[in-house]
């Protein structure tokens, strides 16, 4: 049986208590709000996209430990990445949290984000772990021009 510690790992709890990039960005090109009506989690993701690159990212809001830690670690992971790279990372992350327990994940691509691999054992919490990511994606999609890498 899965232990709760697989979900609530030390690193996740640390990020939920002391989230990184938990602030309003001074210079913002795009913002998006994400909301999970099931549990009332609500986040705003601030992005500064320059030439298709996420030069800075931050977030604000309230929610459970999983959603907050996920938002925190997401901002650290995508800062400096291109929009395409960020989207690919989200795809990889989403595959991991929705995957079958024990299935292989791309550890090299995900880096520290593999700490969320336990989420797949708790299907109800997938929405928590992916809320900030969906919000960021919505923010990036608002800007058609910077998305273009042609």
Partner 1 sequence: MVQHKSALLGHQKDARFSFEVERYRKDFPILSQRVYGKPLVYLDNAATTQKPRQVIEAIDAYYRTENANIHRGVFYLSERATKHYEEVREKVRDFIHAASSKEIIFVRGATEGINVVSQSYGRTFLKPGDEIIISHMEHHSNIVPWQILCNQIGARLRVAPINDEGELVVGDYAKLFNSKTKFAALSHVSNALGTVNPVKQLIQMAHEAHVPVLLDGAQAAPHLAIDVQDLDCDFYVFSAHKMYGPTGVGVLYGKQAWLEKMPPYHGGGDMISSVTFEKTTYNVLPYKFEAGTPDIAGVIGLGAAVDYLHAIGMNAIQAYEQHLLMFATQTVSKIKGLKIIGTAQAKACVLSFVLDGLHPHDIGTVLDREGVAIRAGHHCAMPIMERFKVPATARASFAFYNTTEEVLVLERALHRALEILK
Question: By the criterion CB under 8 A, which residues form the site for partner 1?
Answer: 1, 4-5, 7-8, 13, 17, 38-42, 62-66, 68, 122, 124-125, 128
CB of 124 to partner 1, least distance (A): 8
Nearer to partner 1, 68 or 137 (CB): 68
Nearer to partner 1, 63 or 146 (CB): 63
CB of 40 to partner 1, least distance (A): 4
- Strand-strand pairing, 41-50 and 30-36: antiparallel
Nearer to partner 1, 5 or 27 (CB): 5
Integer Cα distance of 37 and 50 in angstroms: 32
Residues 6+ apart with CB under 8 A from 144: none
Integer Cα distance of 43 and 23 in angstroms: 11
């Amino acid at each position: 049986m899965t232990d709760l510690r697989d979900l609530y790992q030390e690193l996740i709890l640390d990020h939920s208590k002391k989230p990184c990039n938990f602030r309003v960005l001074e210079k913002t090109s795009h913002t998006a709000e994400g909301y999970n009506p099931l549990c009332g989690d609500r986040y705003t993701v601030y992005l500064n996209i320059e030439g298709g690159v996420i030069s800075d990212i931050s977030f604000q809001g309230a929610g459970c430990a999983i959603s907050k830690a996920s938002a925190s670690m997401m901002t650290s992971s995508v800062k400096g990445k291109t929009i395409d790279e960020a989207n690919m990372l989200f795809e990889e992350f989403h595959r991991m949290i929705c995957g079958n327990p024990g299935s292989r994940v791309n550890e090299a691509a995900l880096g520290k984000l593999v700490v969320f691999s336990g989420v797949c054992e708790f299907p109800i919490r997938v929405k928590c772990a992916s809320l900030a990511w969906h919000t960021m994606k919505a923010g990036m999609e608002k800007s058609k021009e910077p998305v273009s890498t042609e």
